[in-house]
Structure 1
Amino acid sequence: MKVRVLGCSGGIGGGARTTSLLVDEDILLDCGTGVGDLAFEELLRIDHVFLTHSHLDHIALLPMLVDTVGDLREQPLIVHAAEDTLRILRAHIFNWLVWPDFTVIPDRIRPMLRMQPVEVGGIVHLGARRIQVLPALHSVPAVGYCLDCGGDKLAFSGDTTVCDKQVEALNGLERLRYLLIEAALPDEHQGLAHAARHLSPSMLHSVLDRLTGDPEIFVTHFKPGYAETLEHEVQAYQGRLRPQVLLNGQCFHI
């Protein structure tokens, strides 16, 4: 499996793109503004979108994606997410007010969009590829994901604060090679990070201290106004693992 970072910022401006990862040619993990950099032909190849949660920076281009390619596809675009997240999408996005309900266009038998619920601990099989749903703890219902095709694994935390169940799940993954994990706000705003259920660098460090494996750590979701401070604080970690900053355009192979 090849994973390409389309967006990994917690905001926009100056070329920043919000969260989305392209897996091979047909899967997106989250659907933030980074998806807008794909060519039209690349958009046509997307068959599955796995959402971590319902916040706009992670779903912003999902409505545009299905609107752009939906009528040119032979099969519906499938959105995989926790049932609570799908409920939010139905109520607040695909509600005919903000955006048309593509789950009934052109009709319920042949929709352009299909929503598929997932549960923590569940695994979606796409050929030889396995997408496992991981716990997360955020201000809205949220999950993370682990990608696996029989060898090394890549895990993506999604948006989360310190989550004991996620740490336990990560420690239970064999051959975890890469962990993409967030740190959105610097330590001087740790109170806000707690309230918003994000990680600060010191909170991230406490998570890294508890990991028993030896994955390469890449930190994502920096708020643009704090990027320099966050990079310095993240890389000040003195523990066993050596966190790096996730970069737009970066690729991973598992």
Structure 2
Amino acid sequence: MKLQILGCSGGIGGKRHTTSMLIDDDILIDAGSGVLQLSLEQLALIDHVFITHSHLDHILALPLLLDSVGAMRDRPVTVYAIDTVLEILRQDIFNWRIWPDFTEVPPECPYLRYSAIDVYQAVQLAERVITALPANHTVPAVGYQLSSPTASIVFSGDTGKNPVLWDCINKIENLHALIIETAFPQDEHGIAEISKHLSPSTLLEELKQLTANVPIYITHLKPGREETIMGEIAELESVEYQLQALQQGQIFNF
């Protein structure tokens, strides 16, 4: 199982791209601007898109992906998300005002189908299993456990303090790595709290609940503040974690 980081920034600018991850060549985890780096041929291979939540930095490439390659495909792209997220996509994006409703067009072979999932539900695609995990954000949201037959990677999604998540993570016996957000530096801790993101201090408080000793990758760093955030994490860190910033283009094989 190959996981490629297409985008992992909290914004854009200077070749930064927002959250999207490609599993093998046919599954996307979120559809931020990172998707725009893929070729037309690569886009046409994507059969499944798992969305964590409805914020623009996680869905902005989805409408364009469907419009660009829908006619090149012989079946719809399946978008998986919890019910409330799918309802937002229906009402606010694929509504004919912002973008066509590709669940209806073309009538003979629509470009899009929705598949509602629940928190803790696992979706098996060949030998790969994608399981929705709880997140604590300003809108309904999930993270995902990405599992091969031998190992798992957890992606927190956008989340604030989230004790339930750690209960799930600590039960995973084959955890290979954790990808967790820390969007704001410490001088914007108040904004992080209001917007239900993590800052360095809350990240380290959350990590105290992690029982496994695995590599930890920090994602969703705000543009231009990456070095500040990672430096503050290092200064505040009282336990030696295997901790580093997630990199655009990084590849995990597991």
* CA RMSD of superposed structures (Å): 0.9
Cross-structure match for 2:183? 184
Matches for 1:41-190 after TM superposition, within 5 Å: 41-107=41-107, 110-190=109-189
Cross-structure match for 1:224? 223
How many angstroms does 1:8 deviate by? 0.3
CA distance in 2, matches of 1:68, 1:126: 24
Cross-structure match for 2:243? 243
CA distance in 2, matches of 1:67, 1:163: 36
How many angstroms does 1:111 deviate by? 1.5
Answer yes or no: is the 8 Å Cα contact 1:7–1:34 preserved in 2. yes
Cross-structure match for 2:23? 23
How many angstroms does 1:110 deviate by? 2.9
Gaps of 5+ in 1: none
CA distance in 1, matches of 2:33, 2:221: 15
Give 3-state SS (helix, strand or coil) of 1:195's partner.
Answer: helix
Give 3-state SS (helix, strand or coil) of 2:208's partner.
Answer: helix
Cross-structure match for 1:12? 12
Q: Deviations over 1:95-123 (max 9, x none)?
A: 0000000010012x631100111111100
How many angstroms does 1:175 deviate by? 1.1
Give 3-state SS (helix, strand or coil) of 2:190's partner.
Answer: helix
How many angstroms does 1:6 deviate by? 0.3
Amino acid paired to 1:28: L
Q: Percent identity?
A: 47
How many angstroms does 1:152 deviate by? 1.3
* Count of aligned pairs: 253
How many angstroms does 1:58 deviate by? 0.3
How many angstroms does 1:72 deviate by? 1.2
How many angstroms does 1:240 deviate by? 3.8
Answer yes or no: is the 8 Å Cα contact 1:7–1:35 preserved in 2. yes
CA distance in 2, matches of 1:105, 1:253: 37
Give 3-state SS (helix, strand or coil) of 1:210's partner.
Answer: coil
CA distance in 1, matches of 2:169, 2:221: 22
Amino acid paired to 2:111: M
Answer yes or no: is the 8 Å Cα contact 1:11–1:17 preserved in 2. yes
When the two structures are superposed, what TM-score results if normalisation uses the length of structure 1?
A: 0.97
CA distance in 2, matches of 1:142, 1:129: 22
Gaps of 5+ in 2: none
